[in-house]
Structure 1
Amino acid sequence: MADFVQKTVNKTAARDLAVPIATVTSFNNLIESVIADNPFGCVGYTGSDGVAVPAVIRNREHYTAKVDFIDGEGKRVGNVSLQSPSITAFNANAAEALANATLAAAMGGDAERNFAGETYYCQLKCHDPSGDDYYVTFTRKTVRISSYQDDAIKTAVETWADAVPALA
């Protein structure tokens, strides 16, 4: 019988944020700054298909808008969650739900956006100069580093996050 032999050590580390990221705009600005500024010192490379791959890319993302329906007595009588693949779709879907009179009538209340209940998720794929790929995943409440081997990667991300007030 053959045994499994460990080939690599992949680690995960997470930081819980003291205060959730307030808006999808501030969340997107944070993501865009990581992609543009490359604070972790990642490097681009050429993929196996011969196509150039940037140092940091959006790997996965989704955004969930929440709309509550409130009756005349201030009681929530219904709600909808709209998971969208992009921020553009997130904003369009929320606006559609808020403006949908047929839906509001069926729910028996007025539509109100539940900003506090909304979720944002974006996973960035980063290519370390060592050749290893790792992921930095952002939500409204956490930042997670995964699939890294070298602790220097965690240190670089942590040092950067320490300097970003929204990530305290």
Structure 2
Amino acid sequence: MGDFVQQSITKTAVRELASPIADIAAFNNLVSGVISGNPWGCTAYDVAGVPQAPVAKSREGYTARIEYENAEAKVVGSVTARAPTVAAFNAAVTAIAADTALATAIGGDAIHVSDEDSFSATLKCHDANGEIYYVAFGREQVRVTSYSDDAILATIETWADTKPELA
């Protein structure tokens, strides 16, 4: 009977942020900046003859929390909305806050509690050494997964140290 033979060693590293990323605009600027600026020096590649970007979103999700307060400023209800994009998140917050029928049904005024929002975006990156790894941004942490070369983490860490929102 054959044995399993280890082929590679992949690693995961997590940076817990000192404070959550302020809001969806700051989060979007951070993630979009990585995609457009490619600060980690990722390289384009092909999969079955189809060109792939050096850095691309592989997953994203955004959740908003709306609470309803009565005349005494007591929370009488809440709604959460999960959206697939930043634009959909912003549209959902606007639509829910403007929904007077829902506010009447719940019995309070809609208030977007942005401190309770959550954001996540995972980037798929192709390193110059051929490795594909992932960087998952959350509001409270950044996770680097599926890498084996420690130079990848060192590059990301050096970049992250220049971003105040990732302190």
After TM superposition, the score normalised by the length of structure 2 is 0.96
Cα distance between partner residues in 2 of 1:94 and 1:35 = 25
Cα distance between partner residues in 1 of 2:131 and 2:166 = 25
2:132 corresponding residue in structure 1: 133
Cα displacement (A) at 1:2: 4.1
After TM superposition, the score normalised by the length of structure 1 is 0.96
Cα distance between partner residues in 1 of 2:145 and 2:126 = 12
Q: Kindly report which structure 2 residues correspond to 1:14-163, keeping only aligned pairs within 5 A, or say none.
A: 14-48=14-48, 50-163=49-162
Please report the RMSD computed on the Cα atoms of aligned residues, expressed in angstroms: 1.0
Which digits, 9 at most, give the CA deviation of each residue in 1:71-98, with x for residues without a partner? 1111111111101000010011111110
Range 35-44 or range 82-91, more displaced: 35-44
Cα distance between partner residues in 2 of 1:30 and 1:136 = 12
Cα distance between partner residues in 2 of 1:112 and 1:4 = 56
2:9 corresponding residue in structure 1: 9
Cα distance between partner residues in 1 of 2:130 and 2:75 = 51
Cα distance between partner residues in 2 of 1:35 and 1:14 = 20
Q: How many residues align?
A: 167
Range 91-100 or range 2-11, more displaced: 2-11
SS in 2 for 1:13: strand
Cα displacement (A) at 1:26: 1.0
Cα displacement (A) at 1:3: 3.5
Runs of 4+ in 1 over 4 A off after TM superposition: none
Cα distance between partner residues in 2 of 1:32 and 1:89 = 16
Cα displacement (A) at 1:106: 1.4
- Structure 2: unaligned runs, 5 residues or longer: none
SS in 2 for 1:125: strand
